[in-house]
Amino acid sequence: MSRLMANLKEVRERIASVKNTRQITSAMKMVSAAKLRRAQSAIQDMRPYANKMDGMLRNILSNLDGSVDLSYGKERKVTDRACLVVVTSSRGLCGAFNSNIIKAAVRLIEEQYPGFRAEGKLSILCIGKKGYDFFKKRYADCKIIDDYVDLFNDLRFDRVAPVADRLMQAFEDGTYDHISVVYAHFRNAAMQYPVAETFLPVPKIELTEEENDKKRADYIFEPDQEQLLEHLIPSILRMNFHKYMLDTHASEHGARMTAMDKASENADELLRDLRISYNKARQEAITKELSEIVGGAAALEG
């Protein structure tokens, strides 16, 4: 009898523990849903403008006059140093969100920068604590830049722009020959996927000769082409970098909301199983008590 009572107590404690966990996951889901609405609105409002400006920039750089020399669009042979920017979140409990970004970054290192790690020519700029913790531990032979780990605490443009300025200056100075960014692209609350993009040099639009004749940018520049592009290109690059941050920020909250929703569903299923187990154990205890009472009464009568 004591064993059955101990089982009942254990099941009751597990039920109470699962209930508390479900309350936490449900609350986190609601918080993430509220944050997601703001983050989703920010990236959806910005993305069409940013994509259009980025397309215009690539089109212009693909069709520049030979007399115009712009360092941001100049292709270089990557022999000196490269920089990889990895954008993750600083908190967990968002499913495979961070691990997917880290896997994409590791894959990019293996495919695009072979040998750079061994030669100490690869720098990794980590935005977000999860990415920093991973690369600091496993990529100690690379230069890990941790100046912007906490950037997600405030994603205002005037805080993000200096990071892009630092990368542009490093590329222009020749510190880096190539700069790539790995971040999460936000599609909807249930779907986010890692993306690796070249930040510098600005990728040009590859067109055939026939397509080039049809799609050649026909812009009228005032003032002159070079003077205007010296101001336009950095502005567009800053905006693109800000888009990377907003995309990842919205993706994080979408992934966390989905993960907490699934955790709440799992808690509900576990509660149902535990209640069934509790009722079975309780019924068994009652049946045993009745059997003992009936047996005792029969013994007295005999």
Residue 181 C-alpha from the chain's centroid: 12
Q: Do 130 and 89 form a contact (C-beta atoms < 8 A)?
A: yes
Q: Do 92 and 134 form a contact (C-beta atoms < 8 A)?
A: no
Sheet holding 191-200, edge to edge: 143-145, 122-127, 82-87, 178-188, 191-200
> Could you say which of 83, 94, 126, 142 is catalytic?
94
**Strands 122-127 vs 143-145: parallel, antiparallel or unpaired:** parallel
- Return d(Cα 198, Cα 36) in angstroms, integer: 27
- Return d(Cα 157, Cα 166) in angstroms, integer: 14
- Return d(Cα 6, Cα 50) in angstroms, integer: 63
Q: Is 142 among the catalytic positions?
A: no
Q: Do 212 and 122 form a contact (C-beta atoms < 8 A)?
A: no
Residue 80 C-alpha from the chain's centroid: 29
Comparing C-alpha atoms, which of 275, 257, 285 is closest to residue 29?
Answer: 257
SS3 of 64-99: CCCCCCCHHHCCCCCCCCEEEEEECCCCCCCCCHHH
Q: Do 66 and 165 form a contact (C-beta atoms < 8 A)?
A: no
Looking at the annotation, which residues are catalytic?
94
